[in-house]
Every structure is written in structure tokens, then in C-alpha cells.
Structure 1
Amino acid sequence: MSHLALITKTQSLIAAGDIVGAEYALAELADTEGDHALMEVLEQLPPKDILAVIREYDDSKNSVVNLLVTPEQFARALVLEKQYKDLTHSHLRGMVNAIIFRSDAQPLEFLEAIGNIEGGSEALANYFAEKWSRIEAFARTGHFDTFEDDGAMLSDEELRASAHVRAHITQEEVADSDWMELAWLLRYECRDLFIEMLLVLRAKARAHDLGLDEEDLPEDDGKVETSDTDRGKATPAARDSDEESAI
């Protein structure tokens, strides 16, 4: 099968909701023609189609797509995740952990790519949505235990200053290939992105507390683009987006 035919087949399977079949078709290409051939196909697939495959993370098996997706491809796909209606963000956290912390990966390369794309900080804010209070405590005290925090949030200026404080805990102490390690990397290795992510997270929390859609926040509540409200339903990304097809 030619690469063009495989791309057409993969997109058709994704459009039909057969994500397992799409991943199998891509894995079969790697088996028959090698990883380089699959990487060439991934370069031609639209980000929304890559996202449809990588977000279906299953920790019981390795996905060759997750193993080969590049930081730039991952970032372009990641910012589209908000198109899914997943209230818990479980798919988001699963694919981020699986790819950023894969055995051969350099996490900072992925974080740099995420930071360089519009919507990257929002995607990270969604990743940490369930851990907001502990991220705030980490920003204030350098520890994740909320009992060490006095409950007062740092101002924007204090937050920017605190990002340069020496780490109280080492990366090895939080090397869980999960949210704590990712937060540590952001705060101490990607400081600007950490601040931007937390400001977006605060804006989302304010919108929730006010009973507002995030789009209704006052203009001075943050220069962030906000996502639709999740409703707990995971389906293939909308095919009518403005994302251009590779075909």
C-alpha cells in the first residue's frame, strides 16, 4: 500500500471512529517498512488525526505512534485536545505522560515545543486542572503539600519572582513520570511556561467560581484563549475543523 493510500485509509478509519484500526494500520507500516516510513506518514497526517490515535493511550501496551511522534507533532496535536468533550482530562494526562516521559524522550524538548505553540499553556492548564491547589502550593512554597501553604495565592508579580527561587525538592524526589515531575520541570526548567500555565489555570478557576463560561471572563482576567466546557464524552475530533488535510 502506498503512503498516500495509507493516509487515506487511516483518516477514513478515524472518521468512522475506529481508532484501534487506524493505529493498527500505522503500526503495520512500521512493521513492514520500518520506523522511518511511519515517521514520513506522521509528517503528512493532520495534527487532529495524530491526536485521535495518541490520546487513546493504553498503558498495557506500547504504541509505535506514541514512540515516534516528534515534539512539534505532539504540540500541534495537543492543543487540539480541547475539541474533545472529556471532563476529567484523563486522556490528556495519559497521552502527555506516555509521550513526554517515554524512555527515549527528552521532556524539555516536548515542553519547549508546547510553549512555542499558541494554546500550549492552556493545554497544560487542563492537564493540571485536578491539581490546582497543589500547583499553587508548589508555586508558593516549593512543596506540593497544601498544608504547608497559608492559602494566599501569590500575585502575578510574586509568582514571576518565585519562579527563580532555588528548588526545595529535587527532580529525583518527584520522578514519577506524572504530574509532579512535569510541574517540577516546568517551574525550574521552563519558568515562563510554568507562569503562563498557572495564570491560565487561575483564569479557568475564576470562570468556574463565577459560574461563567470561560469566554465570558472580563477582558482583564487574562489574555488566554479558553476551551469549550467538557461534558465527559470522548469521541474522534470534529472532522469539520479548519485544519487542512494532508491529502
Structure 2
Amino acid sequence: MTQNHLALIEKTQALIAAGDIVAAEFALVELADAEGDSALMVVLAQLPAKDILAVIREYDNSKESVINLLVTPEQFARAVVIEKQYKDLTRTHLRGMVNSIIFRDDADPVAFLNAIGDLEGGSDALADYFSDKWSRVEAFARCGTFEPLEDHGEMLSQTALLGSAYARAKLEHDEVADRDWMELAWLLRYEIPDLFIEMLMVLRAKASAHEAATAGEEDYEEDDDGKVETGDTDRGKATPSARESDEESAI
């Protein structure tokens, strides 16, 4: 790494700290234009996850971002699990950046999903992604389709979910290849079923807490750490804690 790279890292972090995300992204793009993608990848590898997150969560689908094209599954996963610190209850930025990066043309979506699932907080972040599609995801878990008429059926128990983890898909991948939540749900269920089940358990817990608050039973506010107990799931038993100390601080 050269002195110019170190100076760029310092400049980028200062711009992000000042809230000038556009200028920070422009500085990184200038490096790629001048020295190539490999130089940018070296710099991205040195940036904290919170700074990469600050840039990629502002994704504009009207233009292509070289940062989004080059971020690795591991870098992206570390950014995704701390996105909740922005406390965006609409999840608009989370869904936008997940779709734009996981479904980019050269990407292996399963590699990105596995990287997210391997981190503490990964299933929680994925549950947030599906937060406004809970009934549709439950229907998909139960019957293998996304038909709205199936949205209000009985939820499968965790045992039943585990029993159907490797059931044959009723829908082909091409039928749901929308580069959005349906395709992501399909990939999770049929490519990484243990992560799908863990995510669904977290999603149910979040939905239950929200419904209880709506009914006036308790005040609902997401915990700062956003954690939901997943110790009884297969993925939960193998999920390592992989956060850096500077990523724990509020953004």
C-alpha cells in the first residue's frame, strides 16, 4: 500500500465522518479510474465496515457504483450486520443495497448470503430485510409458493420446517428471478435451508413483539444490539461472533 492510498483512506474517512458521502464515493471512484480496480480493492480492504456501509447504503439504482461492484462477500456481510445502527425502520436502504450487490451480474448470491449468515447478527439482518413480507415468507415456507391467498395459513413449527428443509422446490429459480425479495427467499430456502429457518425464527420473534406492542401489551422498540436468540437452530450453534470493536459504536 502506498502513501497515496493511506492518504485516500484518511480523506475518505474524514468525508464520511463529515456526512459528505457523495464526495467520499467520488474520491474512491477517482482512485479506480486512475490506478484500476485492484488499487480500489486494496483501499476497501482497509476501510472499517461502518465506512463501507455509509457508501453502499446510499446506492442509487440510476447509476452503477464501482464500490458496489467490487465489495467482497465478507466486506459486505460485515456492513450488513451493523446497518441496523441507522435505525431505518422502513428498511429501504437495507433492501436496496442488498439487492444491488447480491444480485449484481458477476456475483454468486449464495456466497454473499453465506457470508452474512456466518456472522453474529446475520440472520437478524436478513429478518429485517423481509420485515414487511413476513406473511408472504411464511406462506412460502409452508407451501413453497408466494400466492397471496396462502398468506394466512398456520405457521409451521421449527420441527416441521427442519423436516421440510430439503423438500423439492415447487417453483423453479427462473420463475422467481426478480433480483428482489422473492428470489432471495428462494435462494435461502433451497440453497441454504438452515439459514432460512434461522432467519424465519428471528422474523417471527420480531413480528410477535411488534404485534404485542400494537395491541398495547408492551412498548416496542428494537434493542440496540438487535439480537434475537437463535441458539436452538442449526446455524445458531455454529455462528461465530465476528464483529470489530469500532463497528459496535453507534453510527
Among all aligned residue pairs of Structure 1 and Structure 2, give the percentage whose two residues are the same amino acid.
Answer: 71
Tell me, yes or no, if the aligned pair for 1:135 and 1:183 is still in contact at 8 Å. Answer: yes
Question: Contact (CA 8 Å) 2:91, 2:128: kept in 1 or not?
Answer: yes
* Greater relative contact order, per chain length (Cα 8 Å cut-off, separation 6+): 1
Write the deviation string for residues 48-106 of structure 1: whole angstroms up to 9, x where unpaired: 00000000010100000000000000000110100002111010000000000001101
User: Displacement, 1:162?
Assistant: 2.0
Q: Distance in 2 between matches of 1:133 and 1:187?
A: 15
Aligned to 2:137: 135
Counterpart-to-counterpart distance in 1, 2:84 and 2:52: 14
Instruction: Measure how far apart 1:224 and its partner are.
Output: 4.8
Runs of 5+ in structure 1 lacking a partner?
216-221, 226-240
Q: Are 1:65 and 2:56 an aligned pair?
A: no
SS of structure 2 residue aligned to 1:243: helix
Q: Quote how far apart the aligned CAs of 1:243 are.
A: 3.0
Q: Say which SS state the counterpart of residue 247 (structure 2) adopts.
A: coil
8 A Cα contact 2:135 2:152, kept in partner = no
Taking the aligned partners of 1:175 and 1:126, their CA distance within structure 2 comes to 21
Please give the residue correspondences for 1:13-52 in structure 2 after superposition, counting only pairs within 5 Å. Answer: 13-52=15-54
TM-score (norm 1): 0.87
> What is the DSSP-based 3-state SS (H/G/I as helix, E as strand, rest coil) of the residue aligned with 1:152?
coil
Secondary structure of 2:178 counterpart: coil
Partner of 2:235: none
Deviation at 1:145, TM superposition (A): 1.1
Counterpart for residue 171 of structure 1: 173
Instruction: Classify the secondary structure of the residue corresponding to 1:3.
Output: helix
User: Normalising by the residue count of structure 2, what TM-score does the alignment of the two structures yield?
Assistant: 0.86
- Counterpart in 1 of 2:85? 83
Amino acid of the structure 1 residue aligned with 2:189: R
RMSD of Structure 2 on Structure 1 (CA): 1.9
Number of matched pairs: 225
Q: Which residue matches 2:211? A: 209
Does the CA contact (< 8 Å) of 1:122 and 1:224 recur in 2?
Answer: no
Instruction: Quote how far apart the aligned CAs of 1:148 are.
Output: 3.0
Amino acid at match of 2:195: L
How many angstroms apart in 2 are the aligned matches of 1:56 and 1:102?
16
Does the 8 Å CA contact 1:207/1:214 hold for their aligned counterparts?
no
User: Cα 1:61–1:150, aligned 2, differ >3 Å: closer, same or farther?
Assistant: closer
